[in-house]
């Protein structure tokens, strides 16, 4: 219980700090992320020696490895920034992965997916309310540009609903759900793209860039590419180079995409997992 209590306190403090910095500067500091990894593995080595139980260290390494894979997928999929990815790796090392279906880390992962989706939707609603005029302009523009896709989706939805009329009740319900999901997916795609264009893409001076920011368009000076979207996050050396180029009058601003701060959803998922467990398992009664 002592080991679990220490881990809980450290994870909670780290997530509170990460939530604050993610909201304030849209960044999770590297000292916090790397500190979590080293503290996690270090503590688990100490616990393994103190309790003469190697499972503490083994579970920590499994947790680090599991979240390393998830972090890579989410980072290269453009869903998380570098700070988010490194933070979950540190959380994995601290929390550890037990090889059982009701393991805390497995419930934490499932809860992160659910909390992340809910938090993302709520945060996008906040952005829409804040930038309503820009959002409506972008939404209408993108909706008109998707005229063919709109009619294709509506026709497919009507066809599915007509087919459902001749099906048994259980299949009819499935077909209606499928039709609704098809329609919802199209409008959600247009909605998210409009939110992104209206509230998440901004021109920024080089001095305001931070490591890991997503550059939307290639910055080319004198025929040489300085940075761009292929970098999957701008590096510190590139920022310094851009600052030097600005002083020479060759670069003024950089177009950057800011993502949704996801660390608050990690905090919510952790607390839910600790006090309530796996949301899905609880709902299904497993």
Pair (142, 56) in one structural domain: no
- Band of pLDDT at residue 271, cut at 50, 70 and 90: very high
Query: Is residue 47 a contact partner of residue 56, using CB atoms and an 8 Å limit?
Result: yes
Q: What percent of the chain has pLDDT over 70?
A: 96
**Rounded Cα–Cα distance for residues 9 and 18 (Å):** 14
Range of the domain at 235: 206-252
Pair (147, 225) in one structural domain: no
Per-residue model confidence (pLDDT) at position 171: 80
Secondary structure (DSSP) of 62-113: HHHHHHHHHHHHHHHTTSS-HHHHHHHHHHHHHH---SSTT-HHHHHHHHHH
The residues near 244 (Cβ < 8 Å, ≥ 6 apart) are: none
158-215 pLDDT, tens digit per residue, is: 999 999 888 888 788 888 888 898 899 899 989 989 999 999 899 999 998 887 788 8
Question: What DSSP designation does 230 have?
Answer: G
Pair (193, 137) in one structural domain: yes
Structural domain tally of the chain? 3
Asked if the model's pLDDT at residue 286 lies above 70, the reply is: no
The CB density around residue 167, as the number of other CB atoms within 10 Å, is: 13
**Full-model pTM:** 0.77
Secondary structure (DSSP) of 186-202: HHHHHHHHHHIIIIIEE
Query: Is residue 95 a contact partner of residue 11, using CB atoms and an 8 Å limit?
Result: yes
86-130 pLDDT, tens digit per residue, is: 899 999 999 998 866 667 888 898 899 899 889 999 999 999 999
Pairing state of beta strands 219-221 and 254-257? unpaired
Pair (15, 122) in one structural domain: yes
Pair (114, 135) in one structural domain: no
SS3 (DSSP) at 224: strand
């Amino acid at each position: 219980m002592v080991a679990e209590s220490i881990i809980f306190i450290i994870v909670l403090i780290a997530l509170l700090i990460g939530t604050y910095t993610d909201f304030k500067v849209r960044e999770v500091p590297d000292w916090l992320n790397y500190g979590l990894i080293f503290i996690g593995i270090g503590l688990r080595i100490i616990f393994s020696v103190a309790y003469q139980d190697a499972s503490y260290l083994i579970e920590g390494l499994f947790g680090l490895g599991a979240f390393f894979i998830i972090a890579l997928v989410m980072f290269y999929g453009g869903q998380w920034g570098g700070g988010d990815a490194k933070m979950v790796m540190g959380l994995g090392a601290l929390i550890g992965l037990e090889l059982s279906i009701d393991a805390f880390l497995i419930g934490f992962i499932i809860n992160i997916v659910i909390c992340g989706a809910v938090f993302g939707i709520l945060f996008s609603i906040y952005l829409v309310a804040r930038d309503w005029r820009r959002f409506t302009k972008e939404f209408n523009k993108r909706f008109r540009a998707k005229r063919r896709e709109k009619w294709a989706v509506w026709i497919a939805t009507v066809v599915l609903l007509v087919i459902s009329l001749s099906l048994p009740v259980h299949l009819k319900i499935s077909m209606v759900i499928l039709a609704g999901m098809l329609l919802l997916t199209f409008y959600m795609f247009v909605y998210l793209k409009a939110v992104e264009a209206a509230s998440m893409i901004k021109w920024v001076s080089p001095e305001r860039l931070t490591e890991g920011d997503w550059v939307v368009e290639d910055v080319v000076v004198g025929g040489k590419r300085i940075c761009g979207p292929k970098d999957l996050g701008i590096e510190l050396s590139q920022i310094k180079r851009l600052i030097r180029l600005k002083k020479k009058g060759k670069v003024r601003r950089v177009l950057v995409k800011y993502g949704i701060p996801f660390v608050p959803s990690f905090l919510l998922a952790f607390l839910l997992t600790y006090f309530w467990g796996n949301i899905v398992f609880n709902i299904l009664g497993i």
